[in-house]
């Protein structure tokens, strides 16, 4: 292992490169790429790597970038792409194709606000368009986690019990452009962690069509198979963590990261880098004797419902911080939190940091003050980033 100073964008591309090389004895690596701020550096880095038995295609749009990945996966290759914001929006149709055709594509997403008006800064709204598409979604908090999640993502996506795309999210600029020490393992260890890709339904000797028309009953079955595979992900992810730890000597973060949550009366729930700030606030408020804790939701889809239920049990208050808004309803994480919290818990949504505002500890302290003054759940609230 060596510690490299890498941006998270470069870290994702480095992990994809190692994974690509690990498939040199399999059916190689295919990636379709198209640049968009703030994920461009990821595809640039990938394009500059020499990878045996690989084809990185610089296409004319995100839609085609995913098309290349679909074709590569259909031929049995390991596949990866990176995008952001409206680029992801443009890719959506083919993302759904990759998901419903059960192709193990790994997608790095540098989360950025959807436009217009154009805003290039962080917002989770782009990835959340694909919340219900049958794609596994990780939201990362730091550089190492982005790197590790890409490696784990390949292992998870290509697991025969899973077989579906994995999206690794990092907040644009806040994380995508942050450089920090990243533990980069040697190739032989990655080889050991990632056996050659085997897509069982790939196009092999006999020509056939994938994704043909089907009747309603078949669709019901396919949806249920896909759903069941998603529900298996938490258990399979734990196996992968164990395997990762055995090979690399360190454990990638859990799908849920509670922080001083056990005895907390007020729980702050958030995703991405926001929980890092929340954890600092927890420390400060604990020092003042307040029973506050944090829950970081790292695996958002499939949502680890049972594990979350255990953390939520008995909480007086749950403050949800959403760097997104499901327009016409409220924060997307809040919607799920409301469904999983105990009936008596005060659940309050705080929309904060949409469009890239820097959520500082002071902001979260205000939210905690607000929820502690409440006796009942209310409609979502906005924390303006002035």
Partner 1 sequence: MDPQHPAEVPLPSGLSLPLEVRVHGRGGQGGVTCAKLIAALFTQMGCFVQTFGDYGSERSGAPIQAYTRVDRAPIRNANKVYRPDHLLVLDEGLMRPAIFDGVEPGSLLLLNSAKPIEAFAGKFDRYRFGVVDATAIAREQGIGSAAVVIINTTILGAYARLLGLPVTALEKGFAKLGVSGDFAAARQAFEKVEIAEVLALEAPASPAPLPVPPPVASTLEHSKDFPPTVLTGTWSNQMPSYATHDAPCNVACPAGNDVVGFVQALKKGDAGAAAGLLFATQPLPSVCGRVCPAPCMGRCNRAFFDGAVNIRSLERWIGDHAEVQPVRASVPRPLHVAVVGGGPAGLSAAWKLARDGHAVTIFEAGPALGGVLRNGIPAFRLPEAALDRDLERITALGVKVRCNTHVGKNELAQLSHDHDAVIVAVGFGAPVALGVKGEHLANIEQGLDFLDRAKREPVTLSGSVVVIGGGNTAIDCARTAVRCGAASVTIAYRRGRKDMPAIAEEIHDAEKEGVRILSYRTPVAFEGAGAVASALLAEMEAGPPDASGRRRPVVTNRTSPLAAATVLLALGQKTDMPLPDGWSMKEGRAFHGDRALPVYFAGDCATGEGTVTHAIGSGRKAAEAVLGVHAPAAKTNGMPVAPGQIRFDHFEVARPHEDRQIAVKMLAGDFSEVNAGLADVSEAERCFSCGHCTLCDTCIISCPDGVIFRDGAGYRIDPQYCKGCGMCVAECPRGVMAMQEKTV
Residue ranges in contact with partner 1 by CB under 8 A: 1, 3, 5, 37, 120-121, 141, 173-175, 177-181, 273-274, 276-277, 279-280, 330, 350-351, 358-363, 366-367, 370, 378-384, 386
Q: Which residue lies nearer to partner 1 by CB, 206 or 287?
A: 287
Helix pair angle (85-100, 62-74), 10° resolution: 30
Query: In the complex with partner 1, which residue's Cβ is closer, 62 or 142?
Result: 142
Closest to partner 1 by CB, 157 vs 367, is 367
Measured from the CB atom, the residue of 215 and 386 that comes closer to partner 1 is 386
Name the 3-class secondary structure at 141. coil
Q: To the nearest whole angstrom, how small is the minimum distance from the Cβ of residue 282 to partner 1?
A: 11
Nearer to partner 1, 153 or 331 (CB): 331
How far apart are CB 119 and partner 1 at their closest, in Å?
9
Q: Taking the complex as a whole, how short is the minimal distance between the CB of residue 252 and partner 1, in angstroms?
A: 15
Residue 165 vs 272, nearer CB to partner 1: 272
Instruction: Pick between residue 104 and residue 331 the one whose CB is nearest to partner 1.
Output: 331
- Please, what sign has the CA dihedral across residues 359, 363, 364, 370? negative
- Give least dist CB 158 to partner 1, A: 30
What is the smallest separation between the CB atom of 237 and partner 1, expressed in angstroms? 23
Measured from the CB of residue 256, what is the shortest distance to partner 1 in angstroms?
Answer: 18
Q: Cβ of residue 144: shortest distance to partner 1, in angstroms?
A: 9
Give min distance, CB of 241 to partner 1, in A: 19
β-pairing verdict for 299-301 and 136-139? antiparallel
Residue closer to partner 1, measured from CB, 157 or 184: 184
């Amino acid at each position: 292992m060596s510690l490299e100073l890498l941006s998270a964008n470069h870290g994702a591309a480095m992990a994809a490169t190692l994974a690509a090389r690990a498939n040199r004895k399999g059916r190689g690596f295919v990636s379709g790429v198209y640049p968009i701020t703030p994920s461009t550096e990821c595809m640039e880095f990938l394009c500059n790597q020499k990878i045996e038995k690989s084809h990185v295609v610089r296409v004319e749009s995100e839609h085609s970038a995913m098309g290349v990945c679909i074709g590569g996966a259909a031929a049995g290759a390991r596949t990866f792409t990176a995008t952001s914001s409206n680029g992801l929006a443009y890719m959506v149709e083919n993302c759904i194709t990759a998901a419903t055709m059960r192709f193990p594509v790994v997608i790095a997403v540098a989360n950025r606000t959807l436009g217009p008006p154009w805003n290039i800064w962080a917002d989770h709204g782009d990835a959340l368009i694909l919340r219900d598409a049958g794609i596994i979604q990780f939201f990362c908090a730091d550089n190492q986690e982005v790197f590790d999640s890409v490696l784990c993502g390949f292992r998870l996506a290509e697991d025969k019990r899973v077989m579906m795309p994995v999206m690794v999210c990092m907040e644009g600029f806040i994380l995508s452009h942050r450089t920090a020490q990243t533990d980069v393992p040697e190739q032989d260890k990655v080889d050991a962690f990632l056996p050659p890709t085997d897509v069982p339904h790939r196009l092999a000797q006999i020509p056939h069509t994938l994704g043909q028309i089907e009747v309603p009953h078949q669709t019901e079955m396919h949806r249920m198979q896909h759903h069941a595979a998603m529900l298996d992900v938490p258990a399979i992810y734990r196996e992968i963590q164990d395997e990762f730890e055995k090979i690399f000597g360190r454990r990638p973060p859990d799908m849920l990261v509670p922080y001083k949550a056990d005895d907390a009366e007020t729980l702050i729930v958030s995703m991405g880098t926001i929980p890092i700030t929340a954890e600092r606030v927890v420390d400060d408020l604990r020092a003042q004797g307040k029973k506050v804790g944090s829950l970081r939701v790292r695996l958002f889809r499939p949502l680890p419902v049972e594990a979350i239920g255990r953390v939520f049990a008995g909480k007086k208050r749950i403050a949800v911080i959403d760097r997104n808004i499901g327009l016409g309803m409220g924060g997307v994480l809040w919607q799920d939190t409301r469904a999983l919290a105990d009936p008596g818990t005060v659940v309050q949504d705080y929309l904060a940091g949409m469009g890239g505002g820097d959520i500082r500890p002071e902001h979260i302290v205000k939210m905690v003050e607000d929820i502690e003054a409440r006796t009942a759940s209310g409609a979502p609230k906005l924390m303006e980033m002035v």
